Structure 1
Amino acid sequence: MFIWKEVPQLPRAEGRIEAIDLARGIAIGLMILSHTVSGLIGIRNVPDWGMVPVHFFTKFSSSLFILVFGIALAVAFLASTQTEEWPKRRLKLWVRALEVWFWYKALTVIEMLPYYAPGDILDALLYQRFAIWVEILGFYAIALLWVPLVLPLWARTPLWGRCALIIGLTALSAWLQGLSFGGNDTLKALLVDHEDHYTWGQLSRAPLILVGLLIGEALLRCYFDTALRRRLVLALVGVGALMVAGFYGLAFAEGDVSAAMLAVANNDGKHPPGLKFTLFSVGGALVILAVALAGGAAASKALLPLTMVGSDALKAFIFHIVMIFLVLRFLLEGEGMYTYPQALGVGGLLILGAALWIWLTRWIARYK
């Protein structure tokens, strides 16, 4: 019973936890594959064998990305919220928010060229409409503004309060989804998603960030102890497998498992989040996270390009959007010029290219 009354008492991480970078890199890699295909050939032109299993499995990406966001916050910042260095570290997060927001707007322009009129692009910059592929960056820019305000409160809240907050926010966002927000579609999209806009609502995704914080707390306590880490891995695999099983249970009850899988592959239930999509996406993300943690430093080295991509998510995101939309679609006029296997190959090359770009910029910074 006492565990429910505990507040976070976290040790400092004993160096960088490469498994977090690997998990984030897998999320980004899946995202790059998805964006490359949808950006170059269009999701409607993907053959059936590509939708399931390829784009079915890429749906783990967004949930894994947000979970790792929360985990990284717990590992890097939560322990310092009750120390004198917190104001400086809080400012660091807010400066990062401004950086992410700048690139969100810059990449919005790049994504919308040359297929939209200048007025449409200006509307997107002023939050009168939304782009598609870069909207996840807009979500993180806003989240980095409010998360530093929540972290000190989270660090003083007992476990039962933290769990209650996750449940309460989930219920609140589901209730708000049924409201019209006075016809203000932009506000609804930014808070709880909107079916007509490819946005990520802050309230609807906040529970996943907070779950990531809980996992990050457990990770700090368990990662450097082999027996404890094994227990954490098994717990994540168990919960993830149950969620995926729940998805298949609902699909079987509806009488058409194949149709349910194809619907997930086509993003049905992604914006706003639906039950079946959430069960499959979050469940798979937890399993992937568990595998990355189980592999540890050895797996991170074996999959070095993915780990490198995950070590600087913003730089990897900028690289792949610029390459897909500015270089391949705009400058080389490559939209519709690729077959599906070729687009997958280009996506793989962009993952390697992003890793090389991150390495090169670090090498230049080191010897400049």
Structure 2
Amino acid sequence: MRQGKAVAARLTERPTLPPARGRIAAIDLARGVAIALMILSHTASGLLGIDALPDWGLVPVHLLTKFASSLFITVFGIALSVAFLPHTETSDWPRRRLKLLLRGLEVLFWYKVLTVVEMLPLYEPQDILDTLLYQRFPIWVEILGFYAIALLWLPWVLPLWRRLPLVSRLVLPPAVALLSGWLEGHVGFWGVEPLKALLVEDDDHYAWGQLARLPLVMLGLLIGEALLRTRESPAMRHLLLALGGGGVALLAGFVLVSLPELDPALTAVARNTGKHPPEPSFVLFSLGGALAILALCLAGGERAARALRPLAVIGSDALMAFIFHIVAIFLVLRFLLGAWQAYSYPQVLGIALALILGSAGWIAMVGWMRQRQ
């Protein structure tokens, strides 16, 4: 009886969150892993194309990059929770909210610039203009569009999230996922396909829907809350077990729903089948791998961030890493050097590694220059 009352009290309480003391290196590392996987994926598809990849390049190499999007969006939610959620009821919140909004405008600016960079080698000016006006969507930089729009509206609802009881915060992610899936399948959005794509995604557009991906942000918010509560306590082990076990369970679920045709299912995921709009099999694989990676990064902590410093550096400034590799792939290699399908797959892997290290070096150099100034 007493235990039941304790559980009920826990489910109805609002979060009491201690503010994070300093930057959490493990979050930077997890974000850096996501960006590195994106760079690998973008280099392969941007310089060779998926159809030109060898079998071993498609599965397992390109397959593993499918963890990137779920990891990146979940870590986005974790970062919001750790850096901003504890301050939503303080006098400092208006300043922090403005910081998020300005960051959203900055990301939106670079999203538009990188849209032009991505499309220059491939499309006519009118196609580029249509894309800038949201009549169509780019591919490789579209996740920045999701990130920018999310930063322009999420700061207004974070205080509401903070006021919700735990049971509501636990129910909302699956509820929003179901709502998004229903809207995608049953609502026409007045025939405005770009609006549908921006909200719940559409088969004919490569866009990240705000509602479709919001459950991952909410999951990140919940993980961030747990991280703030348990970071310096023995209970941290329970969080790591939950994340690692959840990741393994989702991957096992993917295997079970794919049997006896597991090999074709892996190939389909590697080819982005079920990515837009999100389908259960793709989500099981992508989110399962993302949670497993996140658990490893949190378990490694500061030590792992030091050992994998280039990845942690990339994660400390994901926008700059994104700008660096998109400009290198599409403006320099494809547009200026005409490097489309000019290299073998092993050479492309080498280029991807160079871009990962180059991004880290560029971020470190810019940081050093700012400190000197």
TM-score (normalised: structure 1): 0.98
CA contact (8 A) 2:101 2:151 kept: yes
Residue 82 (structure 2) aligns with = 75
Contiguous gaps of at least 5 residues in structure 2:
1-6
The letter for the 2-side match of 1:180 is G
- 1:164 is displaced (CA, Å) by 2.1
Residue 314 (structure 2) aligns with = 309
- 1:104 is displaced (CA, Å) by 0.2
CA contact (8 A) 2:240 2:298 kept: yes
Residue 108 (structure 1) aligns with = 115
Cα shift readout 1:182-228 (whole Å, capped 9, x = no counterpart): 32110110001111111100000001100100000000111222x22
Calculate percent identity across the aligned residue pairs: 62
Residue 298 (structure 2) aligns with = 293
1:334-349 alignment, distance < 5 Å: 334-349=339-354
Matched, 1:222 2:227: no
1:1-150 alignment, distance < 5 Å: 1=7, 2-150=9-157
Residue 363 (structure 2) aligns with = 358
Residue 233 (structure 1) aligns with = 240
Rounded Cα–Cα distance in structure 2 between residues aligned with 1:328 and 1:87: 43
Matched, 1:193 2:193: no
- 1:81 is displaced (CA, Å) by 0.1
RMSD: 0.8
Rounded Cα–Cα distance in structure 1 between residues aligned with 2:122 and 2:208: 23
The letter for the 2-side match of 1:77 is F
The letter for the 1-side match of 2:280 is L
Paired residue secondary structure (1:177): helix
- 1:14 is displaced (CA, Å) by 2.2
- 1:15 is displaced (CA, Å) by 1.7
Q: Of the candidates 142, 155, 163, which is equivalent to residue 170 of structure 2?
A: 163
The letter for the 2-side match of 1:338 is Y
Residue 276 (structure 1) aligns with = 281
Residue 210 (structure 2) aligns with = 202
The letter for the 2-side match of 1:188 is K
Paired residue secondary structure (2:198): helix
Paired residue secondary structure (1:323): helix
Rounded Cα–Cα distance in structure 2 between residues aligned with 1:108 and 1:332: 19
- 1:343 is displaced (CA, Å) by 0.6
Rounded Cα–Cα distance in structure 2 between residues aligned with 1:290 and 1:249: 23
Contiguous gaps of at least 5 residues in structure 1:
none
Rounded Cα–Cα distance in structure 1 between residues aligned with 2:312 and 2:232: 19
Rounded Cα–Cα distance in structure 2 between residues aligned with 1:243 and 1:119: 43
Residue 161 (structure 2) aligns with = 154
Rounded Cα–Cα distance in structure 1 between residues aligned with 2:305 and 2:132: 38
